[in-house]
């Protein structure tokens, strides 16, 4: 892929303290963007920001709980105020539970999954869309899952959140494409992160966080005349 440099562009990545989010943040920073790292836990978030800074890259840590509307609003609006623009929003923060059937899933668990995986994306898009509409440009990339297309026994709440996220993405893409804003969804299979349920025999055969980051880099560097609305990402070999 012939990369287009993202110099002077500003990106927000949620769930950026580890795993897929950290890989995406690093890739965008390496491409020249100033990346705002958002996650709940300050120590790993700050450690990543400092690591990127030592490498000569631009990154800012912003402690954010995406389940709290006021945190999302502050994240988006402080970024725009500080930098005067927000070009890329990557909604990556996600949680899951894969240890019991739906009828044994607590309401607390259901709410935590829906608030993190689906409601937070609505909140972030609602906050960023007016700015992108005004500039008539922007990229919104939602990190979903193949669970948004396939059944997941003992993970119904997670699957429901990702099916919902896919439908939200398709619809918002239609709402915003006329303003030059491209809204895409990435649906990876099992990625070598802490979210993977159960024990896997060979994690080296799984998708790696950098594989997802590569797809995001592709999405935000497309020519202005087209956009990939959805990417299904699978490992070459079954883990």
Determine contact, residues 66/74, Cβ cutoff 8 Å: no
Q: How many residues in the chain? A: 239
The answer to whether the Cα torsion of 121, 83, 24, 193 is positive or negative is: negative
Q: Which residues contact 158 (CB under 8 A, 6 or more apart)?
A: 96, 97, 98, 113, 117, 145, 147, 152
Report the SS3 class of residue 212.
Answer: helix
Active site residue 170: no
User: 103-112 contacts: CB < 8 A, separation 24 or more?
Assistant: 105/156, 105/157, 109/157, 110/157, 112/67
Catalytic pick among 39, 66, 158, 212: 158
**Residue 7 phi, psi dihedral angles, 5° rounding:** -55, 135
The answer to whether the Cα torsion of 34, 37, 42, 43 is positive or negative is: negative
Residues recognised as catalytic: 158
């Amino acid at each position: 892929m012939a990369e287009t440099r993202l110099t002077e562009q500003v990106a927000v990545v949620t769930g950026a303290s580890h795993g897929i989010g950290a890989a995406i943040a690093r890739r965008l920073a390496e491409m020249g963007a100033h990346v705002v790292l958002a996650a709940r836990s300050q120590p790993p978030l700050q450690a990543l920001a400092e690591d990127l800074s030592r490498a000569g890259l631009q990154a800012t840590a912003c402690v954010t709980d995406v389940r709290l509307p006021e945190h999302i609003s502050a994240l988006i609006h402080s970024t725009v105020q500080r930098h005067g623009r927000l070009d890329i929003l990557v909604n990556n923060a996600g949680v899951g539970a894969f240890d019991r059937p739906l009828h044994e899933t607590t309401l607390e668990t259901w709410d935590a999954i829906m608030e993190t995986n689906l409601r937070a994306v609505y909140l972030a898009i609602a906050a960023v869309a007016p700015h992108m509409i005004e500039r008539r440009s922007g990229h919104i990339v939602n990190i979903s899952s193949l669970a948004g297309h396939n059944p997941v026994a003992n993970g119904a709440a997670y699957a429901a959140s990702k099916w919902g996220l896919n439908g939200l993405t398709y619809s918002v893409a239609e709402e915003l494409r006329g303003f030059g804003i491209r809204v895409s969804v990435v649906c990876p299979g099992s990625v070598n992160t802490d979210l993977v349920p159960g024990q896997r025999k060979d994690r080296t055969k799984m998708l790696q966080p950098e594989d997802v980051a590569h797809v995001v880099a592709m999405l935000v560097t497309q020519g202005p005349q087209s956009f990939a609305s959805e990417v299904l990402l699978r490992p070459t070999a079954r883990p």
